[in-house]
Amino acid sequence: MAVRLQDVAKQAGVSVKTVSNVVTGHVHVAPATRERVQAAIDILGYRPNLSARNLRHGRSGLIALALPELDSPYFAELARFVVQAAEEHGLTVLIDQTDGLADRERLVMAGFRSHLIDGLIMSPVGLGPTEIAEHDGHIPLVLLGEKVGAGSADHIAIDNVAAAREATEHLLALGRRRVGVVGNQADSPAGSGVARLRRQGYEQALQWRGIAADPTLIADVPTFGRKQGADATARLLDSGARPDALFCFNDILALGALRMLAERGLRVPSDVAVIGMDDIEDGRWSTPTLSTIVPDKVEIARCAVEMLLNRMGITGAMPSPARDVRAGFALVARESTFGRT
Amino acid sequence: MAVRLQDVAKQAGVSVKTVSNVVTGHVHVAPATRERVQAAIDILGYRPNLSARNLRHGRSGLIALALPELDSPYFAELARFVVQAAEEHGLTVLIDQTDGLADRERLVMAGFRSHLIDGLIMSPVGLGPTEIAEHDGHIPLVLLGEKVGAGSADHIAIDNVAAAREATEHLLALGRRRVGVVGNQADSPAGSGVARLRRQGYEQALQWRGIAADPTLIADVPTFGRKQGADATARLLDSGARPDALFCFNDILALGALRMLAERGLRVPSDVAVIGMDDIEDGRWSTPTLSTIVPDKVEIARCAVEMLLNRMGITGAMPSPARDVRAGFALVARESTFGRT
DNA sequence: CATGTGCATTACAACGTTGTACACGGCCCG
DNA sequence: CGGGCCGTGTACAACGTTGTAATGCACATG
């Protein structure tokens, strides 16, 4: 069952180390020997034991990607790019679902996969900034998303304030003046990150146009789901706030909003224009198609992996100041703000 | 940096093995000793080295899940359940994206992650049944989806023929007589699996009602994407086939179809009823909401993991006949077949 | 008081791999 | 013709953990 270097060595009539050298290609091996060893490898069907290898040089080549949800399109797409980027560097990605639960995030960060993992890319939701800052740095860490100010960890995200400002401005430029917000989150210690920043952007855009913020246009949600988007939209419509546009804090909320608007017989965009954020695949095929902020997911993924590698390279406790990178984004106008409907 | 059992042992004044015993809790250890060791562990922040552990007992506790796409909702949702099921058995899942490429599937099956992985759950797309049957069994394998007849591997899927029959019958029961198909795939060696079975079910349903199959109502797609669904629907509409219902071979195709129908000004379901398969989250929030076949994803995931465990348990080459399990499914009628629109 | 019993703890080896240090042989050069 | 060098190959140890077998010890028993 288990074919070891030793078996190959015996078969080829060489030492174990020589076989190892052939497998890894490290040292000069005479072509004749190499060929003989290779033949033995093929015959026996040898496969290196990665556990042993990892044990030997203290690296596993595995990194973990901790995300709240795999079945949220944004994270699924992001995961794909992270896996690709990691692969380019010879790393394998192990995906961990935290469900946005603080407990699970804490567990992952504490390194319950111990030495199995060389590094961690995490998108924290449940954990507050203070708790993240307590990260003891025993494992290289890169944070995705909106939690800022973690001491020993790098961080990458788009400029959420600017992006939200641009989204809002887009709606205002269409002449809309009662721009509703779907996705606000009252300041809970956890989860406040994204929502707070995006709301800031929204308010800045209003301010620049000299429009007074109307608190009745703000709808809160407990989490970012289609149902929550639909519910919040319903509340907004029922409240008599009469929005002529909706800025949804992400595309999933927006899809829920579109659904609710359709149910209420409101036309998009003529009655209510809608914009989201994230550019998930669904938004390109919904009816109407969804205008949105497109974060550069490829850049985010690539950058996260590179920062992690960087941090992994530094073996010891060398602090090396935490980097905070802003990824690019762009606005794409689709039917939900420009359509003919 | 690296805290080993030895370090803890020295700190606690006991032998390495005793610490190991405390950590694993295997043998009787005197309460006093246990306490002392535990204290040392806490002080030093000891974390077991999984690589060493794995090397020691030849298991890694890792299984791989090879899927065509992470950002396809069906697979993302399935992945979630597999991860959960695996966790219940103390296993960690490593997700591998094959992109439906035969090369990558071959690579994964050949075990390029070598001894890192104890088992593999795979949903093959690019690989044909013959190639899968050549699996040399060096790694326990469970197949998801429609590729049948793999010698040394277990297999789980819903009864696609029956499911497709039920979906079609649902449309026929509404009085529709010109049921179009979106998602057929001309018999390519690869990829023919799902499409062929679902088409069989479609034809059976027609036959039972004594309705002649009309080839002009069948639209082929190269892959299962929203765009492909939209394109195929457009072709169907342009061809003059005049369908009054569409059976889409999965929900993604159906969402594309819904989009195209809306663009053409056709109402769903009054002009054209639409049903899909897979029950992805998006379908519950589209406009109109999407009728579909709901596969029991939880059962599929749990069963796959259990079969894999079973196969992993048998250490040697014990063939143990390959099992072929049918998972349950149900039809859910939503607005796209029952709505008031 | 000697012996047997059972529990707590220990020493040792092994899992499969690879880095280090070294041995061997042939060849070039002085 | 001898010394050194380079190109190949080898022996050994170590990575951190845990199963096995053995040790020490206290207590109960004959």
CATH architecture, domain B61-158+297-327: 3-Layer(aba) Sandwich (3.40)
Q: Which of A55, A116, A223 to mutate to test the interface with B (most CBs of B within 10 A)?
A: A116
Query: C-alpha A27: how far from its chain's center?
Result: 40
Q: Does position B128 have pLDDT exceeding 80, yes or no?
A: no
Q: How large is the average pLDDT for residues B283-293? A: 93
The CA distance from B318 to B94, in Å, is 26
Number of C-alpha atoms within 13 angstroms, CB side, residue B191? Answer: 18
Q: Are A337 and A170 in contact (CB under 8 A)?
A: yes
Q: What percent of chain B has pLDDT over 70?
A: 92
The CA distance from B54 to B64, in Å, is 16
Tens-digit pLDDT profile for residues A217-242: 999 999 899 999 999 999 999 999 99
**Confidence (pLDDT) at B90:** 81
Q: Does position A340 have pLDDT exceeding 70, yes or no?
A: no
- Strand D nucleotides, any atom under 7 Å from protein beta carbons: they are 7-12, 14-20
The CA distance from A17 to A6, in Å, is 9
What is the CATH class of A5-48? mainly alpha
Q: How large is the average pLDDT for residues A192-204? A: 89
What is the fold of A60-157+296-328?
Rossmann fold (3.40.50)
Identify the H or E element spanning A208: helix A192-209
Q: Does position B330 have pLDDT exceeding 70, yes or no?
A: yes
Q: Among B131, B122, B167, B181, which Cα is nearest to B151's?
A: B131
Q: Which of A83, A87, A281, A290 to mutate to test the interface with B (most CBs of B within 10 A)?
A: A281
Q: What is the mean pLDDT of chain B?
A: 88
Q: Which two tokens stand for residue A222?
A: 């407990």
State the pLDDT confidence band at A70, using cuts at 50, 70 and 90.
Answer: confident
Q: How large is the average pLDDT for residues B303-317? A: 77
Q: Does position A313 have pLDDT exceeding 80, yes or no?
A: no
Angle among Cα A327, A328, A332 to the nearest 5 degrees reads 140
Q: Among A335, A292, A297, A275, which Cα is nearest to A123's?
A: A297
What's the distance, Cα to Cα, between the start and end of chain A in Å? Answer: 66
Q: How large is the average pLDDT for residues A83-100? A: 88
Q: Which two tokens stand for residue A303?
A: 């950058």
Chain B closest CA to A32's CA: distance in Å? Answer: 26
Chain B closest CA to A253's CA: distance in Å? Answer: 11
Tens-digit pLDDT profile for residues A143-182: 998 766 556 688 999 999 999 999 999 999 999 999 999 9
Nearest CA in chain A to B287: A259
Region of poorest pLDDT, from A163-167, B57-61, B128-132: B128-132
Nearest to A80 among B55, B71, B282 (CB): B71
Q: What percent of chain A has pLDDT over 70?
A: 92
Number of C-alpha atoms within 13 angstroms, CB side, residue A127? Answer: 29
Q: How large is the average pLDDT for residues B20-44? A: 91
Nearest to A50 among B77, B115, B284 (CB): B115
What 3-state class would DSSP assign to B197? Answer: helix
Q: Does position B228 have pLDDT exceeding 80, yes or no?
A: yes
Which tops the pLDDT comparison, B45 or A127? Answer: B45
Check B259 against A45: CB less than 8 A apart.
no
State the pLDDT confidence band at B318, using cuts at 50, 70 and 90.
Answer: low
Q: Are B43 and B98 in contact (CB under 8 A)?
A: no
**Confidence (pLDDT) at B27:** 78
Q: How large is the average pLDDT for residues B251-258? A: 96
**Confidence (pLDDT) at A150:** 57
Give the number of beta-carbon pairs within 8 Å between A and B. Answer: 140
* Lateral strand order in the sheet of B329-332: B218-220, B179-184, B245-248, B273-277, B291-295, B329-332
Q: Does position A36 have pLDDT exceeding 50, yes or no?
A: yes
Domains B5-48 and B61-158+297-327 share a fold: no
Q: Write the DSSP string, A261-320.
A: HHHTT--TTTT-EEEEES--GGGGTSSSPPEEEEE-HHHHHHHHHHHHHHHHHS-SS---
**Confidence (pLDDT) at A57:** 86
Q: Where are the domains of chain B?
A: 5-48, 61-158+297-327, 160-295
Residue A189 neighbours by CB distance under 10 Å: 12
* Interatomic CA–C1' length for residue A246 and nucleotide C24, angstroms: 80
Q: How large is the average pLDDT for residues A283-306? A: 94
Q: What is the mean pLDDT of chain A?
A: 89
State the pLDDT confidence band at B173, using cuts at 50, 70 and 90.
Answer: very high
* Interatomic CA–C1' length for residue B71 and nucleotide C28, angstroms: 64
Nearest CA in chain A to B263: A287
Q: Does domain B160-295 have CATH number 3.30.499.10?
A: no
Q: Does position A9 have pLDDT exceeding 90, yes or no?
A: yes
Q: Does position B198 have pLDDT exceeding 50, yes or no?
A: yes
State the pLDDT confidence band at B317, using cuts at 50, 70 and 90.
Answer: very low
Region of poorest pLDDT, from A101-105, A219-223, B203-207: A101-105
Spell out which residues of A between 20 and 59 contact strand C, using CB within 7 Å: 20, 23-24, 26, 46, 48-49, 52-53, 55-57
Q: Does position A317 have pLDDT exceeding 50, yes or no?
A: no
**Confidence (pLDDT) at B242:** 94
Q: Does position A2 have pLDDT exceeding 60, yes or no?
A: yes
The CA distance from A133 to B212, in Å, is 68
**Confidence (pLDDT) at A249:** 97
Identify the H or E element spanning B203: helix B192-208
- For A145, left (φ over 0), alpha (ψ -120 to 50), or beta? left
- For B185, left (φ over 0), alpha (ψ -120 to 50), or beta? beta
A146 phi, psi to nearest 5 deg: -105, 0
């129908």: which residue's tokens? B261
The CA distance from B254 to B260, in Å, is 10
Which positions ≥6 away from A282 have C-beta within 8 Å? A73, A251, A255, A290, B255, B282
Q: Which two tokens stand for residue B71?
A: 């950002």
**Confidence (pLDDT) at B179:** 97
Q: What percent of chain B has pLDDT over 90?
A: 62
The CA distance from B55 to A220, in Å, is 51
């806490």: which residue's tokens? B42
**Confidence (pLDDT) at A138:** 78
Q: How large is the average pLDDT for residues A281-305? A: 94
What's the distance, Cα to Cα, between the start and end of chain B in Å? Answer: 66
